[in-house]
Amino acid sequence: MKQFIVELINDRFMIAAVLLFGLGFMNLLLQKNLIKKIIGFNVMDSSIFLFLASQGYINGRIAPIITNGVFDAEVYINPIPSGLVLTGIVVSVSVTAFFLALTVRLYGIYKTVDFDEIMLLINKEAE
């Protein structure tokens, strides 16, 4: 039991990332407002970044910037997740902008950002 709690505290970043992912996914599924759905999507993105960054960290090591001529890999943290997070942030920004643009167009046509109302209006148009 004691070991379990120690592991729980040690893995707090990954657990927080998973919980945030669930929260964001819940938001994405259950919110009716399209803007709030997009916010949920962004929370999911952030949880992935937290997970990747926590995978790269190593206790007691410093950021991989070689300033005093130490080339030993034992001194620095893992630089690869940092680069992956960078890619992720760019893709997240781009996708969010595209979603928001689509929402603006939908609002222009249906004058609402409520997903259910938009679906009802589309069904009415189809009939």
Partner 1 sequence: MNIETNFFKRLNDWVNGEADRLFPELHETDAPKPPEPVATIGPLPNKDVLFLTSYQAVALIVVIGMVSILLYTVYKLPLFGVADNPAVNEVVERYVEKGLEETGAVNVVAGMILDYRAFDTLGESSVLLLAITSVMMLLLKDEKNTDPDEELIEAHEAVIEDHNRDMILQTMTIILMPAIMLYGIYVILNGHLSPGGGFSGGAILGAGLILFASGFGHNRVKKFFNMKTFRTLTTIALLGYGVLKTYSFLLGANHLPTGIPLGTPGAIFSSGLIFVLDICVGLIVACTMYGFFSVFSRGEI
Exposure of 3 in the CB half-sphere (CA atoms within 13 A): 0
User: In the window 67-126, what residues touch partner 1 (CB under 8 A)?
Assistant: 67, 71-74, 76, 78-83, 86-87, 89-91, 93-95, 97-98, 100-102, 104-105, 108, 111-112, 116-117, 120-121
Among 1, 5, 59, 125, binds partner 1 (CB under 8 A): 59
Q: In the complex, what is the shortest distance from the CB of residue 89 to partner 1, in angstroms, rounded to a whole number?
A: 7
Does 33 help bind partner 1 (rule: CB under 8 A)?
no
Residue from 120, 99, 98 nearest 110 by CA: 120
DSSP tag of 62: B
Alpha-carbon distance of 47 to 120, in angstroms, equals 33
Cβ distance 15 to 8 under 8 Å? yes
Residue from 79, 86, 88 nearest 56 by CA: 79
Question: Beta partners for 76?
Answer: 62
Q: In the complex, what is the shortest distance from the CB of residue 45 to partner 1, in angstroms, rounded to a whole number?
A: 14
The contact set with partner 1 (CB under 8 A) reads 7, 10-15, 18-19, 21-22, 25-26, 29-30, 54-59, 61, 63-67, 71-74, 76, 78-83, 86-87, 89-91, 93-95, 97-98, 100-102, 104-105, 108, 111-112, 116-117, 120-121
